[in-house]
Amino acid sequence: MLENLKDQPADKILALMQAFRDDPRDDKIDLGVGVYRNAAGVTPVMRAVKAAEKRIWETQETKAYTGLAGDPAYARALGGMILGDAADWDRLAAVATPGGTGAIRQGLELIGMAAPGATVWVSAPTWPNHLSILRHLNMPMRDYHYFDDATREVDFDGMLADLAKVGRGDAVLLHGCCHNPTGANLTAEQWAQVADLLAEKGAMPFIDIAYQGFGDGLDADAAGVRLLAGRLPQMLIAASCSKNFGIYRERTGLLMALAEDAGQKALAQTNLAHLNRQNFSFPPDHGARLVQTILGDADLRADWMAELEDVRTGMLDLRRQLADELRQRSNSDRFDFLARHRGMFSRLGATPAQVEALRRDHGIYMVGDSRMNIAGLNAQTVPVLARAIVDVGV
């Protein structure tokens, strides 16, 4: 049987990680994989996470199964953090999932169950795993313009023109903040226009929010998703705690479905629990319990928010430093977009040959589409990168 399997394409980002490891150069720089690193190149366990782990270790008396949806207190805590005042629990169904990826996968499956044959619209470009999960599920998909290669900002006119073609009952996948891979994001006014258009079209927004707190702040980063939740009758939200709590390997995510009323919420809830049951039964608990513990304790929450804020402002400083260096070295303002972008990534706009030259000649690793992980930089490597970018002719 196994001989019938077809080889699967290697995940490009994971292959890049391996190439970086194999590179013997001491001064190589990894701007590839999407993991936050501090100035020392470490992905730290956050202070509040350590404290919550200790507390859980001391007090937890059982490892028996939680519910199929996970602990409802986790959903309330995280859902509340995401939606703020827009969290209407009479209309919100929610399940814990293995990471944000698990939530995306299950959300797409739910769409397939509710509206077989519905088209899922994705931004061009988007996180490659969106596309590969959609392909795996054999779901119809189309893309909408998102990134303007010339300005490195959102091509909003192109986006609206494409979304005008969305059919009733289609789903539109949107990045809640800190767009991956581009770093270019919608303004509040643009979110409002998208909300109006989707409402008019009768389309289902599906928000993927994986970097809340990495852009303009915890509340500001959720402004788009909150606005949509306030205006649209239905929506799906896939959230990840991997980045903002630094608990990547704990696989901590949440899938929420905003329904029109309590009856529809109950229907969505049983379907979400059913999907969990079919795919993996009970969701992982440890990460969810950490998040719930931190958000539910004033001191831990304040400490977590302070550390997250340091992470966020550290990345913003690196963005500004890089844009400044590039302004001086290129004698132009054409890289200023780096300071305007938000989140961990920016698409530099280098050609594949330039990306290759950065790797070959300078030991600088970024994804082939020229996505750079800003958190892979530090004060010493910013000038090195700026010099190399100008050297290869970006």
Ligand X SMILES: Cc1ncc(COP(=O)(O)O)c(C=O)c1O
224 touching ligand X, by CB under 6 A = no
Closest residue by Cα to residue 146 from 108, 107, 172, 111: 172
343 touching ligand X, by CB under 6 A = no
Consecutive H or E run containing 240: strand 235-240
123, 185, 240, 373: residue in contact with ligand X (rule CB under 6 A):
240
246 touching ligand X, by CB under 6 A = no
Enumerate residues 110-149 that contact ligand X by CB under 6 A.
127
The DSSP 8-state label assigned to residue 167 in this structure reads P
CB 263 → ligand X: shortest distance, Å?
30
212 touching ligand X, by CB under 6 A = no
255 touching ligand X, by CB under 6 A = no
287 touching ligand X, by CB under 6 A = no
d(CA 187, CA 180): 16
Burial class of residue 93, CB neighbours in 10 A (0-12, 13-18, 19+): buried
- Is 46 in contact with 307 (CB distance < 8 Å)? yes
d(CA 385, CA 374): 11
CB 253 → ligand X: shortest distance, Å?
5
CB-based contacts of 252, cutoff 8 Å, min separation 6:
96, 99, 240, 241, 242, 245, 284, 287, 288, 290, 291
**What mask, x for binding ligand X by CB under 6 A, covers residues 164 to 193?**
-----------x----x-------------
Catalytic residues: 127, 208, 210, 243
**What mask, x for binding ligand X by CB under 6 A, covers residues 77 to 116?**
----------------------xxx---------------
| Residues 137/143/149/154 CA torsion (nearest 10 deg) | -110
- Exposure string for 194-212, b = 16+ CB within 10 A, e = fewer: bbebbeebebbbbbbbbbb
CB 55 → ligand X: shortest distance, Å?
23
CB 238 → ligand X: shortest distance, Å?
7
Name which of 212 and 321 has its Cβ closer to ligand X: 212
Please work out the total of residues on this chain that contact ligand X, with binding judged by CB under 6 A.
13
Q: Which amino acid is at 288?
A: A
Name which of 34 and 246 has its Cβ closer to ligand X: 34
d(CA 30, CA 36): 11
CB 100 → ligand X: shortest distance, Å?
3
283 touching ligand X, by CB under 6 A = no
111, 210, 339, 394: residue in contact with ligand X (rule CB under 6 A):
210
* Tokens linked to 25: 């150069």
d(CA 365, CA 136): 28
CB 241 → ligand X: shortest distance, Å?
7
70 touching ligand X, by CB under 6 A = no
Q: Which stretch binds ligand X (CB under 6 A): 137-145, 150-158, 199-207, 240-248?
A: 240-248
Enumerate residues 13-52 that contact ligand X by CB under 6 A.
34
Q: Summarize as ranges the residues that interact with ligand X (CB under 6 A).
A: 34, 99-101, 127, 175, 180, 208, 210, 240, 242, 248, 253
